[in-house]
Chains A and B, each alone.
Chain A
Amino acid sequence: MAKIKYIEFNGTEHEADVANGLSVMEGAIQNDIPGIDADCGGGMSCATCHVYISDDEWFRKLPEKEMGEDDMLDQAFEPKSNSRLSCQLIVSDDLDGLTVHMPEKQV
Chain B
Amino acid sequence: MIKTDVVIIGAGPTGLFCAHQLGIIGLKCEIVDNLDKIGGQCIELYPDKPIYDIPAVPKCTGEELTNNLIEQIKPFNFNFHLSDRVQELKNENNKWLVKTLNGKEFETPNIVIAGGVGSFEPRKFPTKSAEKYDGKSVLYSIKDKTIFKDKSVVIFGGGDSALDWAIELSNSSKVTLVHRRDEFRGAPASVQKIKELSDNNTIDLITKYSIKDVKGNGSLESVEIKSESGESKVIKADYVLGFFGLIMQLGPIAEWGLNLDKKTIPVNTENFETNKKGIFAIGDICTYPGKLKLILSGFHEGALAARGCFKYARPDEKYRFEFTTASSTIKDRLGVKE
Q: CB within 8 Å of B: which residues of A?
A: 37, 39-41, 43, 45-48, 70-71, 74-75, 77-81, 104, 107
Contacts and interface: CB of A to CB of B under 8 A. Distances in A.
Given A77-B126, A79-B180, A45 B244 contact: no
Contacts of B263: 37, 39
16 contacts: A39-B117, A39-B247, A39-B248, A39-B263, A40-B41, A40-B117, A43-B46, A46-B247, A71-B159, A71-B185, A74-B158, A74-B185, A75-B123, A75-B245, A78-B210, A107-B247
Nearest to A29: B262
Given A43-B45, A45-B46, A107-B249, A78 B183 contact: no
B34 to A, nearest CB: 15
A107 B123 contact: yes
A89 to B, nearest CB: 20
A102 to B, nearest CB: 14
Given A46-B247, A74-B185, A81 B228 contact: yes
Interface in B42-84: 45-46
A63 B139 CA distance: 37
A43 to B, nearest CB: 7
Contacts of B123: 75, 107
B244 A74 contact: yes
Interface string B218-252: 00000000001000000000000000110111000
A75 B228 contact: no
Interface of B: 41, 45-46, 117, 123, 126, 157-159, 179-181, 183, 185, 210, 228, 244-245, 247-249, 263, 293
B181 A70 contact: yes
For chain B, what secondary structure do more than half of its interface residues adopt (helix, strand, loop), or is it mixed?
A: loop
Contacts of A104: 126
Given A40-B41, A74-B181, A79-B180, 17 more contacts: A37-B263, A43-B45, A45-B45, A45-B46, A46-B247, A70-B183, A71-B158, A71-B159, A71-B185, A74-B159, A74-B245, A75-B123, A75-B247, A78-B210, A81-B228, A107-B247, A107-B249
A44 B312 CA distance: 40
Contacts of B248: 39, 46
A48 B247 contact: yes
Contacts of B247: 39, 46, 48, 75, 107
A75 B117 contact: no
Nearest to B294: A41
Contacts of B41: 40
B46 A75 contact: no
Nearest to B162: A74
A52 B131 CA distance: 26
Contacts of A48: 247
B228 A40 contact: no
Given A70-B181, A107-B123, A75 B244 contact: yes
A37 B264 CA distance: 12
Contact of B180 (A37, A46, A74): A74
A41 B245 contact: no
A85 B304 CA distance: 36
Query: Most A CB atoms within 10 A — which of B179, B185, B228?
Result: B185
